[in-house]
Structure 1
Amino acid sequence: MFKVTFTFENGSKVEAFANAGDNLLEVARGANVAIDAPCSGNGACGKCRVQLKGGELDSKKTLHISDEEYNIGWRLACMSKITADVEVLVPDIASAYKSRMKVADLSSKEEIAIFEKAKHDVEMAGIELTNSLDVVEVHMDPPTLDDTMPDNERLTRALQKFMNLKRVRIPYAVLKKLPDVLRESKFNVKCVLRTTPNDMYVYDIFDSNKDVVIGGLAVDIGTTTVSAVLINMETGEILAKSSSGNGQIRFGADVINRIIESQKPGGKKKLQDAVIKETINPMIHEMCRSIHFPENQIYRMCVASNTTMNHLFAGINADPLRMEPYIPAFFKTNSLFASDVGIEINPDAHIIMAPNIGSYVGGDITAGTLVSMIWNRPEFSLFIDLGTNGELVFGNSDFMMSCACSAGPAFEGGDISCGMRATDGAIEACTIDKETMEPTYKVVGEPGTKPVGLCGSGIIDVISELFMTGIINPKGKFVREGKRIRHDHYGMGSYVIAFEEEAGSVKDVEITEVDIDNFIRAKGAIFSAIRTMLNSLDFDVSMIDDVYVAGGIGSGINMANAVHIGMFPDIPLEKFHYIGNSSLTGAYLMLHSTPAEKKTYELAANMTYMELSTVPTYMDEFVGACFIPHTDTTLFPSVMEEQQKR
């Protein structure tokens, strides 16, 4: 056995033991050390960099690490085997998904406006913002020698009289505190209830003098990013908001790698713990701490996520999802409670899950479709959710069709050498001067924040600008020279957006030809899916009245640039609308409004799912879309005209 010591930039250490020949990345995973590995350890992404500080490693040389970096100890964890005692430094960027948890400042009008608009839209469509949770005040006569009724029966009868219901359910958690609360309050109490036509469930009991807020939690579990809001269930007010990287990302950037990982011994538990214990529970505690709110007073939770994330969250075998005929364990379920999966809120809290409609079109899309409102309009609209999977819904108030394409993690910064989520330090917007080739960019964070990498919206801008200024050709290859353009000894070109001295990291922020190629495939998957779905209905892009774009890609996409690179169809820009994280907004509406929850189930049941892999023309469409903007430039007349003007 050899000792493996993982050190971190803050000075802390984690020690583990390994056998000769063990893979360093696997040892890190076993020790719960967070090393980002989007490709799940096959050497393709180059993100699992560590620095050798002592001892020995048997490490293969890769294209992701230069000779200079190799000489000062940089290695890929997935390409390294244990041969002796060793100490490695894990850089902060490797565990950025874990360390950069962000609690939003709700004083920002932009943060609240999206949710307020969604509430207004569904109300205008006739959906009431009401739910079954309530706080009622009950007064009881204290027991005497002549009135020896037990506490639970005394409360039950008082509630039956108050609410005129036959059945009242008092769970163990309430029964346990009942004697003390009743006597301390002199039998005047407030009860948190869930009331249905048939019965009443008592979630909690308090002294009648206490101000009680019914908390609710809406969570969007993305493959790369998890976002959540804590709300007041009675008013719908957002009390706190948080986002974090999904802890599962160290097991692979895509759902297939994670499903494969879940099939290893103890794998399902590892994947479930990564999203619940390492991601969601810390987010809950951070939100509650920030507003001094008791976790135990969160009585309902709504989860919107893709079909695989739903299964891994619930600890259910997801392997059949990747094997023909691709059958999930469930499309919808109402059987989950917080105590079942270890969510650290009220143990009896019911977990609502936005319904899935296919193996690769999940609850995040049904929740997003609710928010897009395309189901309530006669015009033909296209809803696009940009994430690790690109999901699309097309239709109107008469019909809706959906499909999914594997875009990969590029829209959220994965598969891009300097890619990152839209957190502090991410370049989210960029322009490039055609003559000097000098960039001007906007960085997420406080004024003066130095750039660390590129998030999705920034990548779109940079590639668009490189193409429109003639720096790269339609294949994504560099065709101009300058101080910001360089080539390595393999001839691969790159464009430097921020040199090391300008950046907030230990290296230049740049985009390479490999990055551009990865992104071209991602955008090609989106455009080819749009074309394939429209063609199946005998529609063309001119018949689209509105396009609603969602996803945590950044503060918003420059739609013109997305058209320039051939990701979206060449239609008038006023038809495009960015609606933010519609999955989280939809989960919020389902949580706050029982009629909205029912409407989402209805939308899922009435939506037609199209499996792109069964459409013979899809691959031809995809190949054609893997150029900038497309091999058929007649599909993008305004782009070609604008490029000639520049």
Structure 2
Amino acid sequence: MFKVTFRFENGEAVDGFAAAEENLLEVARKTNVAIDAPCSGNGSCGKCRVKLLKGTLNSPRTRHITEEEYAEGWRLSCASKVEGDIEVEVPDIASAYRSRMKVADLSSPEEVAIFDNAKADVEAAGIVLKNDMEVVDVTMDAPSLEDTMPDNERLMRALKKQMQVEHVILPYTVICKMADVLRETNFSVRCVIGRTGSKGNIFVYDIFPKDAKVIIGGLAIDIGTTTVSALLIDMVTGDILGKASSGNGQIRYGADVINRIIESAKPGGRRRLQKAVIDETINPLIQQMCRAAKFPNKQIYRMCVAGNTTMNHLFAGVNADPVRMEPYIPTFYKTNSLYASDLGLTVNPDAHIIIAPNIGSYVGGDITAGTLVSMLWNKPEFSLFIDLGTNGELVFGNSDFMMSCACSAGPAFEGGDISCGMRATDGAIEACTIDKETMEPTFTVVGDPGQKPIGLCGSGIIDVISELFSAGIINPKGKFVREGERIRRDKYGMGSYVLAFQKDAGAEKDVEITEVDIDNFIRAKGAIFSAIRTMLNSLEFDVSMIEEVYVAGGIGSGINMKNAVNIGMFPDIPLEKFHYIGNSSLSGAYTMLLSKEAERMTYQVASNMTYLELSTVPTYMDEFVAACFIPHTDTSMFPSVSQQ
């Protein structure tokens, strides 16, 4: 066995061990070291680079490592085999999830406005924002030699009488603390309860002394393939107490759901994937939010999770392999049988977990939750709902019908497959303009004033490619056709555009976008547009019949819709029809958590939705190929772009 030391730029180091000729990326994974590997180690993305500090590796130079970088010690971990004791540095590259947790400042109105708007829209549709949880005070007679009733019977009898119910459930966790709490305040206590079933039976989540300050906490979570976001709320008032986001720890097992399903099918893989999202991602988010809000995590009594079908399976530790195998059948479309203790979540062990319902193998709870808050189901207008993520999911319809589909857009919208790509966190360029004459960029960076750029998030990528095209710097195929200080070419003639030189950047090298990056993004936008066209054609609709478009996805502070149309990602219809609604999956999970009626409506929305499997539509591939140009091979579809 050989010793492998992984060093990080912050000074930390982790030691692991490897057998002779063992793959370095696999060593990192089993040592729990997060090395970004969107392609799951097949050598195509070039992001799993490490710097060899000591020792030797059997590692040939790949197309992702220049001769100069190779001489400096840079290697791709997925292409490296361990031959002896080594020491490597793991860089804090732009897209690495390891150090990118963000806890939101809730004093900013922008952070909470989207959730307030979701609540208002749902209420306007006649849905009552009320759940079945409450805090009740209970006073009992103290036991005596004449009254020897056990504590549990005494409490249940008092609750039955006071709440006028037939059954009261006391879980083991409450029974364990009940004797001490009852005697601390002479049998006057405060209980956190939830009503269950049609008869309103009671489940007792917790018990406190009568003078204790008790807030019923709830947790809404959006489990994205790339990013996980969470809200901590007061279940009674609906107030948001905390908000945080982080990269999904599963990213090192692949950027897409197929690679992760394959990894989960390996021995011990299911547990590794579940541990990556729960122990390494969700639990740290909970701790960070609760610490910032000064809120006890054991007072979180209910959770609502919205994620795509694969993420729901991997979160629950359920076999996801049938999802990718014909006939593509999930283990569950919805389930109400999970509790926090089943999964090792650091909240109250009896916290009930609600999972937004899946529709099919590739349209999951993130879309049903998002469709709820888009209000598409409650409007007569023909509306299109688009969720931009690793998978692009679409819903089209109105209050009479809804059809959904999903396309594999890849991780480009969230920074994956892009050499300088990153999530929408500090250091990300989220908006950009480029001077047509000088080719000089002007951009906005996420973070505090003075924050240096590190990379590009989704909204920034859309802007940069649109601006490069509008300025005539790239042609419709995404190739560079102008020269200048910011245009570079490697020895093979491959071009790139430098947004920020190293001296002005917060990264270890220039922030630049390459022709390979542009090609990857053109494919992603082509997948979205071709999915829109295919779904509309299957209904014998035309893009001109779309009356409203709701765009969701946490890819930046907002999307420049004009630029999205310019590159051919969205149909060329009047810009006033487009509405950016942010992370609708998280908004929907928040609304479901807060309201039992909203939860029931989400199940109804899911059951009323028809799922279209694009791979079964013969014309889809033709549509996709035609859309892999800027804006499209048929420029007549984009009259506003040709007129610029």
TM interval, short-chain normalised:
over 0.9
1:35 has 2:35 as partner: yes
1:194 has 2:194 as partner: yes
Tell me, what secondary structure is at the counterpart of 1:96? coil
Match of 1:63 in 2: 63
Tell me, what secondary structure is at the counterpart of 1:202? strand
Question: Following superposition of structure 1 onto structure 2, how do residues 211-226 of structure 1 map, counting pairs within 5 Å?
Answer: 211-226=213-228
Q: How far 1:178 sits from its partner (Å)? A: 0.6
Between the aligned partners of 1:11 and 1:108, the Cα distance in structure 2 is 33
Tell me, what secondary structure is at the counterpart of 1:93? coil
Match of 2:361 in 1: 359
Match of 2:120 in 1: 120
1:109 has 2:109 as partner: yes
Between the aligned partners of 1:335 and 1:168, the Cα distance in structure 2 is 18
- Paired amino acid for 1:178: M
1:69-105 deviations in Å (ceiling 9; x for gaps): 1111011111111111111011122783121111100
Choose which of 629, 633, 637 in structure 1 pairs with 2:639. Answer: 637
TM-score (structure 2 length as normaliser): 0.99
* 8 Å contact from structure 1 (residues 49, 94) kept in 2: no
Match of 1:89 in 2: 89
Match of 1:76 in 2: 76
Once the two structures are overlaid, the 10-residue window that deviates more, 624-633 or 145-154, is 145-154
Question: Following superposition of structure 1 onto structure 2, how do residues 144-543 of structure 1 map, counting pairs within 5 Å?
Answer: 144-196=144-196, 197-198=198-199, 199-543=201-545
**Change in CA separation of 1:60 and 1:94 when aligned onto 2, cut-off 3 Å:** farther
Aligned-residue CA RMSD in angstroms?
0.8
Q: How far 1:166 sits from its partner (Å)? A: 1.1
Match of 1:595 in 2: 597
Between the aligned partners of 1:127 and 1:517, the Cα distance in structure 2 is 45
* 8 Å contact from structure 1 (residues 49, 90) kept in 2: yes
* 8 Å contact from structure 2 (residues 531, 620) kept in 1: yes
Tell me, what secondary structure is at the counterpart of 1:442? strand
Match of 1:17 in 2: 17
Between the aligned partners of 1:449 and 1:224, the Cα distance in structure 2 is 23
* 8 Å contact from structure 2 (residues 222, 305) kept in 1: yes
TM-score (structure 1 length as normaliser): 0.99
Between the aligned partners of 1:62 and 1:311, the Cα distance in structure 2 is 35
Between the aligned partners of 1:35 and 1:496, the Cα distance in structure 2 is 25
Q: How far 1:486 sits from its partner (Å)? A: 1.1
Q: How far 1:586 sits from its partner (Å)? A: 0.1
Between the aligned partners of 2:183 and 2:89, the Cα distance in structure 1 is 57
Between the aligned partners of 1:135 and 1:96, the Cα distance in structure 2 is 42
Q: How far 1:133 sits from its partner (Å)? A: 0.6
Tell me, what secondary structure is at the counterpart of 2:643? helix
Tell me, what secondary structure is at the counterpart of 2:5? strand
Between the aligned partners of 1:156 and 1:498, the Cα distance in structure 2 is 66
Tell me, what secondary structure is at the counterpart of 1:118? helix
- Paired amino acid for 2:334: K
- Paired amino acid for 1:34: A
Q: How far 1:136 sits from its partner (Å)? A: 0.5
1:408-453 deviations in Å (ceiling 9; x for gaps): 0000000000000001000000000000011001000001100000
**Change in CA separation of 1:422 and 1:408 when aligned onto 2, cut-off 3 Å:** same
Between the aligned partners of 2:163 and 2:109, the Cα distance in structure 1 is 39
Q: How far 1:19 sits from its partner (Å)? A: 1.2
1:30-60 deviations in Å (ceiling 9; x for gaps): 1001100000001111111100000000112
Between the aligned partners of 1:52 and 1:541, the Cα distance in structure 2 is 53
1:325-377 deviations in Å (ceiling 9; x for gaps): 11110111111110111111111111000000010000000000001001111
Q: How far 1:292 sits from its partner (Å)? A: 1.4
Structure 1's consecutive aligned runs of 4 or more residues displaced over 4 angstroms after TM superposition are none
* 8 Å contact from structure 2 (residues 95, 415) kept in 1: no
- Paired amino acid for 1:226: V
Gaps of 5+ in 1: none
Tell me, what secondary structure is at the counterpart of 2:270? helix
Match of 1:624 in 2: 626
Tell me, what secondary structure is at the counterpart of 1:92? coil
Tell me, what secondary structure is at the counterpart of 1:228? strand
1:373-422 deviations in Å (ceiling 9; x for gaps): 01111000000000000000000000000000000000000000000000
1:109-159 deviations in Å (ceiling 9; x for gaps): 011111111111111101000111111011111111111111111101110
Between the aligned partners of 2:96 and 2:107, the Cα distance in structure 1 is 26
Between the aligned partners of 1:94 and 1:447, the Cα distance in structure 2 is 19
Match of 1:138 in 2: 138
Tell me, what secondary structure is at the counterpart of 2:244? strand
Between the aligned partners of 2:547 and 2:595, the Cα distance in structure 1 is 29
- Paired amino acid for 1:179: A
Tell me, what secondary structure is at the counterpart of 2:275? helix
Tell me, what secondary structure is at the counterpart of 1:450? coil
Tell me, what secondary structure is at the counterpart of 1:430? strand
Between the aligned partners of 1:60 and 1:46, the Cα distance in structure 2 is 13
Question: Following superposition of structure 1 onto structure 2, how do residues 38-49 of structure 1 map, counting pairs within 5 Å?
Answer: 38-49=38-49
* 8 Å contact from structure 1 (residues 98, 246) kept in 2: no
Between the aligned partners of 2:589 and 2:333, the Cα distance in structure 1 is 16
Between the aligned partners of 1:641 and 1:93, the Cα distance in structure 2 is 40
Between the aligned partners of 1:322 and 1:96, the Cα distance in structure 2 is 27
1:298-326 deviations in Å (ceiling 9; x for gaps): 00000000000000000000011111111
* 8 Å contact from structure 1 (residues 36, 94) kept in 2: no
Between the aligned partners of 2:71 and 2:94, the Cα distance in structure 1 is 20
Tell me, what secondary structure is at the counterpart of 1:462? helix
Tell me, what secondary structure is at the counterpart of 2:204? strand
Tell me, what secondary structure is at the counterpart of 2:262? helix
- Paired amino acid for 2:16: A
Between the aligned partners of 2:49 and 2:267, the Cα distance in structure 1 is 26
Between the aligned partners of 1:153 and 1:288, the Cα distance in structure 2 is 34
Match of 2:563 in 1: 561
Tell me, what secondary structure is at the counterpart of 1:99? coil
- Paired amino acid for 2:209: D
Between the aligned partners of 1:365 and 1:123, the Cα distance in structure 2 is 20
* 8 Å contact from structure 1 (residues 8, 89) kept in 2: yes
Between the aligned partners of 2:10 and 2:575, the Cα distance in structure 1 is 47
* 8 Å contact from structure 1 (residues 34, 94) kept in 2: no
- Paired amino acid for 1:172: Y
Tell me, what secondary structure is at the counterpart of 2:330? coil
1:474-493 deviations in Å (ceiling 9; x for gaps): 00000111010011001100
Between the aligned partners of 2:93 and 2:626, the Cα distance in structure 1 is 36
Between the aligned partners of 1:3 and 1:449, the Cα distance in structure 2 is 38
1:263-316 deviations in Å (ceiling 9; x for gaps): 111000000000000000000011111111111100000000000000000000
* 8 Å contact from structure 2 (residues 95, 421) kept in 1: no
**Change in CA separation of 1:94 and 1:476 when aligned onto 2, cut-off 3 Å:** closer
